[in-house]
Chain A
Amino acid sequence: MFGHITYKEWLKIRWALYGLSALMLLSLIYTYAIVNYTYRFSDANGFWYNIIYRGSSFYSRINYLPLLAGLIIAAVQWVPEIQRKRIKLTFHLPVDEYRVLLQMIAFGASALAMIFIGFCVLFSILGFFYFPPEIVYSALSTLFPRFLLGMAAYLMAAYIILEPHMLRRILYSVLSIGFGKLFLYGWFYNIYDRILLQMTLLTLLLSLAIIYPGHRFKKGVMK
C-alpha cells in the first residue's frame, strides 16, 4: 500500500520539490561562485585565515534553506489534507489509519532527505575542488544540524497542521520554535559533534508523533 499512498503524496509535493531543488542548487552555485571569486580576485589569504583561525563559514548563505524546505514541504503536503477536512478521505481508505499517516510522513521526510543528500553530495564535490578534505568534512558536520533542523521543522509543522485545535496549535508552535533554536546554536566548526547522535535520534522520534494529532483529528476531539 505504500506505493499507492506515495502516488498521491507525490502529486501534492512534486512542484514544491522541483522548486526547492532548484533553489538549493542555485544557492550552492552562488556560494561557490563567491569562493571562486575570492580566490581569484580578492583576499585569498584573509579568506583562509578567517576559515582556519576565526571559524567563519563560507556557506552561511544556506543557513535557513533547510528550514525553509522543511516548512514548505510540510505545508504543501499537509494543508490540502486538513482543508475542508479532506483527510477524512484518507482515513476512509481500506487501510489502517495510523499506518497511512506514518507512510505519508515517511514519504515527506524521504523527499526532504533526498534534496538534502543531493545538496551534500554536490557541496562535497565542489568543496573538494577548493578546500582540503578536513575543511569539507568539518563543514558537512556543521551543516548537518541545519539539515536536521529542516527535517525537525517538517515533522513539527506536519504535527501542528494536523492538530485540530487552534490553541494547541499555537502552544505547539511556541514549543517548536524553542526546540528549533537548539539547532541554530552557532556556526563554529564541529560545534555539534558531541550531541549529533542525540539530536538525530530526537528528530527520528518526532516522526512518530504525527499519530497523536492524527488520532485526535480522526476522533473529532476539539479540546
Chain B
Amino acid sequence: MNQLEFAVECRNLTHYYGTKKVYEDMSFNIRSGSILGLLGKNGTGKTTTINILNGFLEPRSGECFILGENSQYLQPQTKARVGFLLEGHIQYDFMNIYQIERFYSRFFPRWKREPYYDLMKKLAITEKQQISTMSCGQQSQVALGLILAQDPDLMILDDFSMGLDPGYRRLFIEFLAEYGKAEHKTIFVTSHIIQDMEKLIDDVVILGYEGVLHSSTMDHLMTRFRQYDFYIESPDRQVLPDGVIMNFDRVKNHGTVYSFEDQALVEKHLRGQGMQFSALSEVKMSLEDAFIGITGKY
C-alpha cells in the first residue's frame, strides 16, 4: 500500500452550533508518520474537529479525508486502521480487562495482545476488577493498551491528559512518543495541558475563536516565535497586535510582546508606535508561553 503524504486532510471546515460559530474555512493537514497537536482554549473547537474527523459530526461545509477517505463515509477497513481515544479515556467500563481485550480482538485483523497485557501487568488491579472501579490513570492505561493492540496507522487522541496525575501523564506521553516514532504511526492529539505536548509533537495547529491562528512544525514555532520583555517608560501606552506584534501584555511597567520578527525589527516597530521603553531582551519560551503569546491570556 502506498504511503499517503497526508494521513489527514481537512479542507475549508466551517461549523456552527445553532447560530454560534465554531470556526470558518479551517484547513489543516497531518503528515503521515508525524505527531500533530491541536491546541486551543476551551470552546475553540478541538473536540468538534475530532468529532468531524471520526464522522460523528457533519460540518456545515468543508470536508476531511482520513487515510484518503471522506471522514463522513469511512469504510470498516479504514476504521480498523484508526485508533480512537475518547475524551476522558471512556471505554466499556462494565467489562474487566480480559473481557474488553477479548471483545475488541475479534474486530481488528492486526490485533496484538502483547502490548496490551504488558501495560496491564504494570497496573495494581485484580484479575476480575471492572474498569469502572479503576482510577482515571488506570483507565487511561487500559484505553491506551487497547489502541496499541489494535496497531492502527492513525491514532486520534482527544484530550488524553484529562484526569491524569503527573505520573500517568508522563507515562502516557513517553510511551506514545516512543511508540509513534518506532512504529512510524501518525498521531493526532489534543490536550488542555500544553506543556504535555512539548516533548511529544512534531507539528502544531493552534486554534482561536475564529479558526486557525497558527500552523507549523514545532521546530519552526519554537525557534522563530519570540517573547521580548521590556521596561515601559510611557505610562498607559498600549500596543495593538499587527503584522509584527502578535500579542502585547502589560503588568504595571513590565511589558511583553510576542513576535516572529527579530529583536531589532521589534524595537524599531515599538518605537514607531510611540512606545518609550528600555531594557528590551528576548526571553526563552516554553510551548505554553508560545501558546499564550499567540492566543492571549483572555
Contacts and interface: CB of A to CB of B under 8 A. Distances in A.
B114 to A, nearest CB: 21
A92 B90 contact: no
Interface in A188-218: 218
Interface in A66-103: 80, 84-86, 88-89, 91-96
B106 A94 contact: no
B167 to A, nearest CB: 24
B103 A222 contact: no
Contact of A94 (B51, B91, B94, B107): B107
Interface size of B as a range: 20 to 34
Given A12-B94, A218-B56, A220-B56, A92 B84 contact: yes
Interface in B65-81: 76-77, 79-80
A4 B102 CA distance: 9
A220 B95 contact: no
Contacts of B62: none
Contact of A7 (B54, B76, B103): B103
A26 interface: no
Contact of B106 (A4, A91, A218, A219): A4
A4 B58 contact: no
Nearest to A222: B17
Contacts, number: 65
B6 interface: no
Given A94-B107, A94-B108, A11 B99 contact: yes
B88 A95 contact: no
Contact of A4 (B84, B90, B107): B107
Nearest to A84: B90
B56 A88 contact: yes
Interface residues of A, number: 24
Interface string B140-160: 000000000000000000000
A61 interface: no
B80 A94 contact: yes
A20 B269 CA distance: 77
Contacts of A168: none
B86 A4 contact: no
Given A3-B106, A86-B91, 19 more contacts: A4-B106, A11-B92, A11-B94, A11-B99, A80-B92, A88-B86, A89-B86, A89-B90, A91-B55, A92-B54, A92-B79, A92-B82, A93-B107, A94-B76, A95-B76, A95-B107, A218-B56, A219-B56, A222-B17
7 contacts: A85-B86, A86-B86, A91-B55, A91-B56, A92-B82, A95-B76, A223-B18
